[in-house]
Amino acid sequence: MIVQDSQRQGEQLLEALLGALKAADQLRAMTVVRRALKQGWTVDDIRFHLITPALHDVGRQWERGAIGVGDEHLATSICEWLLFTLAGRTRRHSATGRRALVGCSEGELHSLGARILAHVLSEQGWSVLYLGAATPTAAWPQIVYARRPDVAVLTTTMPAALEAVGPAVTAIKSSRPECRTVVGGQAYHGLSGAASDFGADLLVLDAGALARQL
């Protein structure tokens, strides 16, 4: 019964957020997030089980022509705004003394997944350097050499962008062998491949589990 209730609650919140995104109504979207917090959702619950599925749904709506590109851009910018509003609302763990570099592989413009990982790792006490979208393969060696991260996290959404992952990982390792490399993102869903196929140390799909695996 409790499971059914919380499932219904989740569906209602998702529907309400999708309605707000469709109307491009930022304040209404924030009201939905506040409602979720009041109902006991954690910030990570909201990131992973409300905002992420809402954006995935927006993608499906765009794919079938139910909404236009501009509508999708507005929905994305509202979600980005929600993510910034949520960041730092949880108590930051004590500093781990470790540094993570988080970015997207070459050609990859989908940056919100990387943005979420950056927020989550920062709250877990990591010092985080966030590169945003599409870091060219040739840029990684200089960045890891200069910034000396313990871990480099590369996210990839488009299957076509996967071909840049192996060369980026090789470039990182050649510049800073002690830097661990972690790859993940929607492009890996349904692939039978492993991290080693990309020369990486870890392939992780669950953002909530990332910090525990590092």
Contact in structure between 109 and 135 (CB atoms under 8 Å): no
Biggest alpha carbon–alpha carbon distance for the chain: 55
Shortest distance (Å) from residue 189 CB to ligand B12? 8
Distance CA 214, CA 197 (A): 19
Asked if 179 touches ligand B12 (CB under 6 A), the answer is no
Candidate residues 111, 122, 137, 181; the one interacting with ligand B12 per rule CB under 6 A:
111
Asked if 194 touches ligand B12 (CB under 6 A), the answer is no
Asked if 107 touches ligand B12 (CB under 6 A), the answer is yes
**Can you point out the beta strands (E) in the chain?**
99-104, 127-130, 151-155, 180-184, 202-203
Tallying the residues shown for the chain, one arrives at: 214
Distance CA 167, CA 189 (A): 20
Asked if 205 touches ligand B12 (CB under 6 A), the answer is yes
Tokens of 172: 């990182």
Number of residues that bind ligand B12 (CB under 6 A): 35
Asked if 207 touches ligand B12 (CB under 6 A), the answer is yes
Tell me the window of 20-28, 91-99, 112-120, 123-131 that interacts with ligand B12 (CB under 6 A): 112-120
Write out the residues near ligand B12 by the rule CB under 6 A. 47-48, 52, 55-56, 58-60, 62-63, 72, 76, 107-113, 116-117, 153, 155, 157-159, 182, 184-186, 204-207, 210
